[in-house]
Structure 1
């Protein structure tokens, strides 16, 4: 009975994605005329080619890959370093610093977009990939930092002591000893950051207003919305394209993600 209930819940959870794939193979009129039918009468594969080449999603896809990859790398390194310091060292002002981090965690993105835009503009990086990466990855990232801090805190001190006896300094201990051990947390932070950077809309929109060629997939979705009409089938095809990398990343890293959650529960 429990299995049947879980199967029903799984079906309800996956139905929107199946419907999206079905809608991407229909014409706009068929979506509204036979919307609940998951099997298109005559699959329109041209929706994908139109979204990929004619609308420019090949360029948007590359932009998303570059920006998301850079953001993930920046946030993982920054969060791991900050988490290592917070988890392994005691210093004056540690608790107030964590309090400030927690305050920034509750600030909506809309409150910070103006100063981030002004600062990026002053650095001459407003309409560049690097500017978007820094805008997305240079925040507090308190959730990722605390994940690393909690993991590093519970590692035995003997690991560092042995490394110091071999003449290793702080950075060598971190990159060669501590950071490789935090692979489950790194997988978790990678997945969460990837989802955030891949799907974020507001900051890439503001940073690429004058450079449409730098749009990401999330911003590029607006291409399908016209003044008097919306290409729903093309938008569905573009949405499927944008979801495929997310699914691939989660499939590759989901085991480590589950392991890190299980480890947190045990603690």
Structure 2
């Protein structure tokens, strides 16, 4: 090897080291941001982790262990007590039936309303939108009396069908506006081509518009699922005289007694209630973000 080659190589090594050091220093702010976000995420999910930990602890250990997450002894009997003794198996079935039926009603109803308001211009359309927006300022508690009265007149007060109608019959103005904004941005040529082929209003909606709005539909379905799954006030009213109709959120009261509260059993019931929501969100989070982004863009 010549002297020139050795000199060039000796200069290249320190230069490469300097570039490596510069790259490491440039990454310090990025790693700092990651560490900060990781700390915030830990603080955010700590209550959930504590609930999972408390669900496998004894009632005395829940308070004696303080903020510790690792139990001294795993007590899986809490889940058995919540599922069988407290009746959460039945409550889970009620919640699944009510939630999926409500989601189906809300998605179809809001999609149809949004399709009409987003694609058609007719006299009074702005007035209808204004009335819908005005309902956002009506407190939910004021609507419970007419809902109960209508349910009694229809004979569905103490039934899951009445609970579904009450939860699915809300205004859902935000969902209607999201659908309207999404449908408004779709090209009109899609409808015109379908109409030229002889398709009617409902066929255009079911075969073309609704499949194209899948991101928005996933967003509406997820938000409706969360709201219905965690609903407490209306299910409490509809199951007040029929305990077998309770949902998971109302069934939590089974662990609260006059003189004591079964905190470990309640934590186990809380984990049972939350796991389906977490799993659903993991599958639909991509559609959720796309639906919100599409509605904001429009």
Shared fold (TM-score greater than 0.5)?
yes
Number of the residue aligned with 2:279: 248
Q: How does 1:1-267 map to 2 (within 5 A)?
A: 1-267=32-298
Segments of 4+ in structure 1 off by > 3 A? 264-267
Larger Rg: 2
- Secondary structure of residue in 2 paired with 1:210: coil
CA deviation after TM superposition for structure 1 residue 261, in Å: 2.4
- Unmatched 5+ stretches in structure 2: 1-31
- Secondary structure of residue in 2 paired with 1:39: coil
CA deviation after TM superposition for structure 1 residue 167, in Å: 0.2
CA deviation after TM superposition for structure 1 residue 184, in Å: 0.2
Corresponding pairs, count: 267
Query: Which deviates more, 251-260 or 233-242?
Result: 251-260
Query: Which deviates more, 128-137 or 104-113?
Result: 104-113
- Unmatched 5+ stretches in structure 1: none
Question: What CA distance in whole angstroms lies between the structure 2 residues aligned with 1:107 and 1:243?
Answer: 29
User: 1:192-249: per-residue Cα shift (whole Å, max 9, x none)?
Assistant: 0001000010000001111100000000000000011100000000000000110111
> TM-score, normalization: structure 1?
0.98
Question: What CA distance in whole angstroms lies between the structure 1 residues aligned with 2:37 and 2:282?
Answer: 20
Question: What CA distance in whole angstroms lies between the structure 1 residues aligned with 2:242 and 2:82?
Answer: 19
Question: What CA distance in whole angstroms lies between the structure 1 residues aligned with 2:203 and 2:189?
Answer: 15
Aligned Cα RMSD in Å? 0.9
- Secondary structure of residue in 1 paired with 2:158: coil
Number of the residue aligned with 2:8: none
CA deviation after TM superposition for structure 1 residue 165, in Å: 0.7
Question: What CA distance in whole angstroms lies between the structure 2 residues aligned with 1:259 and 1:158?
Answer: 23
- Secondary structure of residue in 1 paired with 2:117: helix
Question: What CA distance in whole angstroms lies between the structure 2 residues aligned with 1:121 and 1:223?
Answer: 26
Query: Which deviates more, 227-236 or 28-37?
Result: 28-37
CA deviation after TM superposition for structure 1 residue 265, in Å: 4.4
